[in-house]
Amino acid sequence: MELSLKSLDLKAAEVGNKASNLSKLINEQFSVPDGVVLSQTYFACSEAELQQKLNRLSERLERMLPSADGWAVRSTAIDEDGGTKSMAGQYKTVIIQHSSQLPAAVAEVHEGSIPVIIQTFIEPDYSGVLFSCNPLTGESEIIIELVEGRGEALVGGDTNPMVHYREGKWSDSSPLLEQLLLHMEPWIMKAKELMQQQVDMEFCIKNKSLYWLQVRPVTTGVHTDSWDYDFAHIPDSFLEEDWFLLDQCTEPVTPLVKKLDPGNYFQMPYWDIRFVQHYPYISLKKNVGAAAPSQPDDGTSMLLRWQALRNRYEPIFDQQLNENITQASLEDLWEKTAVRVEINRSYVSEYLNRDWFMARRIIGKELEQLVSRYAGENADVPLLLSSLTGEVNTITYQKTLQLNQLVNSARKYPDFGELCNKVRSSEPHPWADQFAAFISQYGYELPHPLALHLKTLAESPETLLSRIAAELHTRKISREGKGQESWKEVAARIGQRMEHDEKTEFHRLLTEYRAYVIRTEDDDYLLQKGSSSIRRILLEIAQRLVDCGKIESRESIFFLYPDEIHELISGARQSVEETELLQREKSFAAAAAINPPLLLKPGNARKVSEDQKLQGVAVAQGCRSGKVFKLMNPLDRESYNQIPENAVIVAPILTPNLTYAILACAAIVTEVGGFLSHGAIFAREMGIPAIVQVEAATSLLQNGDEVQVDAKRGVIEILKRNSNPS
C-alpha cells in the first residue's frame, strides 16, 4: 500500500530521506505539493504483482492527486539527502502528463531498489535553490539562486541564475524579490530547527505562491569532514578578527560530535564558528548576548539562582549516568540519545546565559575601587584582589583535598602495588574503598565537554592510580611562604583603614564576589555530567554494533555520522565503508598531534629579554624555583602522570577538569587567563605561586629549564637553560 506524505511517522530507512524530510515539512505546515510514497515494502512482490498494483494505482491517480500540470515521479533513495552526502542529481525524476504513464515512470525511477515519491506537479513560473549558509565556508548567510520556469537546469549546473541573493543583497533588486525574501526567512529558520543543522532547499513559485520541493542538510563546508581550513592556509580575512579556540578545547572534535552537536555549541547566536583541522574556533558577535541586568545581582541571589539551576539539571544527569540501559533495544537507545542531547542543549543554553557575569563585573569594579583607596600608594591592586579571592571552597578544591587524602593514606602502606591490586580485584580493603568512593563521586569527569571520544575518570581508574603513584615519589611541598597572608588577613589589613560604613560595604562586596568565584568554577562540572551521560549511552550503542559485527570497535562510533548510526541500527545499512572510516580516523589522528593556538592571530616571534626574564600577571602569591614541565595539551590525562618533582607547570591554559591532578608542583605559568581563570582559582586554593598572561611562554620556555617564578612581581626568570630539552 502506498503511504501518504502527510503521515506523521515516515521512517527514512523505509521510504528514503527525501520522503521523510518532505513529510517533516508538511507536518510543520510548509506548503509542499501533495503526494504518496512507494516504500521498499511496496516493491517486495513479484513483477506480475507489482504491475497489477501500479495499474490499479494509475487508475486512482487522478482522484487521489488531482493535478492540472501532471505528476512528478521522484526517487527517494536511502543514501539521498542524508546528513553525510546529498547524492544530488544522481537519481531520477520523471514528469508525466497522463496517469497511464505512471507504471513505466515508476519502473524507471525505482531502478530495482529505490523507493519512489509520486507528487502533484506544479509547472512553475520560477524555480530556485537556497542555502541557509555559505556551502563553501559554512558562514551563516542565506544564498538564493532563481531561474524562470523549471529548475532542472539550475540544479544541474547547466544554466546561470536569472537573479541571485548573496552577501545580504539581490543582484537585481526589486520590491517583489525583497518581499519574497521576507516571506522565506521564517521558513528557512524553521527548516534549520527541524533538521537541526544548516539546510539546502529547493522551491518553486506559481501565481505568486511559494512551494517547497525538497530539503536536505548542507553537506559541504562547515558541516562535513572536508574541513574549512588548515593552520598553514588560513586566509588573511580570517585573521583580521579575533578567533578563539572554543572553550579551550585542545582536543579535536570528532565527526560524530561535530554533527550531533550535543551542546548546540556550533549553532550559538553569540558567535560565528569555523573549524581548523577539526578544532572549533569562534569569533564573538558584536551586540549579541544577554543585556546588562537592570540592577546589579548580589552574590546571595546569584547563588540561589545557580542552586535552582543545579537542582533542576543535576538529578537528571545523575539519573542518566546511573540508569540501567543494558536491557533497552538499540532503537530505544538511539531515541534516548536524542533526549539526552536535547536536555544537555537546554542546560548549555541556560549555562551560557551569562548575565551574572555582568553583575560580577560591576561588583568587581566596585570592590577594586574601594580596595584602591585603602590599599596603599604602591600596592598591586590586582594581586590584592587575587589574594582576596583565595581559599574559596569550589568542587575543584574539594576534589583536590580528597585526592591529597588518598595520597597521604597510601603513604601508610608499604606496598602501593598491592593497593592497586586490591582496587583491580575489587577486594575489600580500607584504601581500595576510599579510592572507589572517589571514583564514585567524580567518575563522570571528562577532560572536556566536547571531547566525548576521551574516557571518563570512571573508565580510566588506572590513570588515577598512576597519578597517585607519581605523587608518592614526590616530597610534600610546604606552602608556608614567609610573610604570605591568608585572604582573611589581607581583608582585615585593608579594612582596618576604613570607616565603619565603608568597612561594612567592603565586606558585603567581598562576600558577594567570592560567591561569584565559586559559581565561576563550579558550573563547569554540570557540563561534564551532561556530556558524560551522552558518552555513556553512545558507548552502549557502539558495543551492540560491535557485537553484531557492524563496526570493529566501540571507539569507531565517534567517527560515524548520526544518520549512519541510525541506518546501522534500523538495518538500512549493514556496515560503513571501511576505507572512508579509516580516512576519517587518520585525519583526526593527524589533528590530535597538533598543539592548536588558543588565539588565531599572526604575531611577531617573541624573544626572551636580555636579563632572561618573562613578564606576566601575578594571580597567586609566592616565589618558588623549579624545572619547567610543559603541559601542551591540558586535556591529556597521561601527561599529568609525567610531571616530575618540584616542577614549574607551563601550559597554554589550565581547565578545572584536570587541574586537581597537579598536587606537588612548585608553581604555575600560563599563556592565557585572568585572576578568575580556573588555573588561578586553583592556585590560590592550594597556595601555589601562579602567573598568567605570559605571552608565548610555551615557546620561550623549554622542558627542564630552571626558572624562578616570582608571583609577587609577575616575573619568571630563567636561571639555567636545559641543554637537552625534550
Which amino acid type is present at position 191?
Answer: A
Q: Quick one: average pLDDT of 246-251?
A: 89
d(CA 388, CA 516): 13
Phi-psi region of 376 (alpha: psi -120 to 50; beta: other; left: phi over 0): left
96 assigned to some structural domain: yes
642 assigned to some structural domain: yes
Q: Quick one: average pLDDT of 143-155?
A: 84
Categorize the per-residue pLDDT at 248 as very low, low, confident or very high, splitting at 50, 70 and 90. Answer: confident
Number of domains in the chain: 2
700 assigned to some structural domain: yes
Q: What is the pLDDT of residue 207?
A: 94
Lowest mean pLDDT, pick from 61-70, 80-89, 640-649, 658-667? 80-89
More confident site: 89 or 304: 304
Q: What is the pLDDT of residue 89?
A: 43
DSSP states of 637-686 as a string?
HHHHTTPPTTEEEEES---HHHHTT--S-SEEEESS--TTSHHHHHHHHH
Which amino acid type is present at position 194?
Answer: L
Q: Quick one: average pLDDT of 365-379?
A: 85
Q: What is the pLDDT of residue 358?
A: 78
Q: What is the pLDDT of residue 712?
A: 83
Q: What is the CATH number of the domain that holds 677?
A: 3.50.30.10
522 assigned to some structural domain: no
Q: Which residues of 157-178 are buried (b: 16+ CB within 10 A; e: fewer)?
A: eeeeebbbbeeeebeeeeeebe
Extract the C-alpha cell encoding 463: 590513570
Categorize the per-residue pLDDT at 605 as very low, low, confident or very high, splitting at 50, 70 and 90. Answer: low
Q: Are 394 and 681 in contact (CB under 8 A)?
A: yes
412 assigned to some structural domain: no
111 assigned to some structural domain: yes
For residue 470, pLDDT over 70 is answered with: yes
Please report, rounded to a whole number, the percentage of residues in the chain having pLDDT higher than 90. Answer: 44
For residue 84, pLDDT over 80 is answered with: no
Q: What is the CATH number of the domain that holds 107?
A: 3.30.1490.20
Categorize the per-residue pLDDT at 468 as very low, low, confident or very high, splitting at 50, 70 and 90. Answer: very high
Categorize the per-residue pLDDT at 379 as very low, low, confident or very high, splitting at 50, 70 and 90. Answer: confident
677 assigned to some structural domain: yes
Lowest mean pLDDT, pick from 137-151, 392-406, 628-642? 137-151
Mean pLDDT of the chain, nearest integer = 86
Which pLDDT tens digit goes with each residue over 163-205? Answer: 899 878 898 888 889 999 999 999 998 898 787 678 899 999 9
Q: Which residues contact 561 (CB under 8 A, 6 or more apart)?
A: 83, 84, 255, 256, 259
Closest CA to 298 of 383, 388, 364: 364
Any idea which residue has 524555480 for its cell? Answer: 127
Q: What is the pLDDT of residue 291?
A: 40
Last residue within a domain, chosen from 121, 138, 172: 121
Q: Are 551 and 585 in contact (CB under 8 A)?
A: no
DSSP states of 163-228 as a string?
EEEETTEESS--HHHHHHHHHHHHHHHHHHHHHTS-EEEEEEEETTEEEEEEEEE--SGGGSSS-S
CA 27 to chain centre: 30
Instruction: Output DSSP code: residue 287.
Output: T
Q: What is the pLDDT of residue 227?
A: 43
Q: Quick one: average pLDDT of 9-20?
A: 83
The DSSP element (H or E) to which 503 belongs, if any, is helix 500-547
d(CA 40, CA 15): 7
Beta-bridged to residue 386, according to DSSP, are: none
CA 667 to chain centre: 31
For residue 552, pLDDT over 70 is answered with: yes
Residue 169 phi/psi, 5-degree rounding, is -155, 155
Maximum mean pLDDT: which of 80-89, 652-661, 699-708? 699-708
Which pLDDT tens digit goes with each residue over 30-74? Answer: 999 999 999 888 988 898 999 999 999 999 999 999 999 999 999
Pairing of strands 690-692, 3-4: unpaired
For the chain, what is the largest distance between any 2 Cα atoms, rounded to a whole number of angstroms? 100
Categorize the per-residue pLDDT at 83 as very low, low, confident or very high, splitting at 50, 70 and 90. Answer: very low
pTM of the model: 0.68
**SS3 at position 508:** helix
398 assigned to some structural domain: no
Categorize the per-residue pLDDT at 575 as very low, low, confident or very high, splitting at 50, 70 and 90. Answer: confident
For residue 61, give its domain range. Answer: 1-121
Last residue within a domain, chosen from 67, 94, 121: 121
Last residue within a domain, chosen from 121, 154, 183: 121
Which pLDDT tens digit goes with each residue over 422-464? Answer: 999 998 999 999 999 999 999 999 999 999 999 999 999 999 9
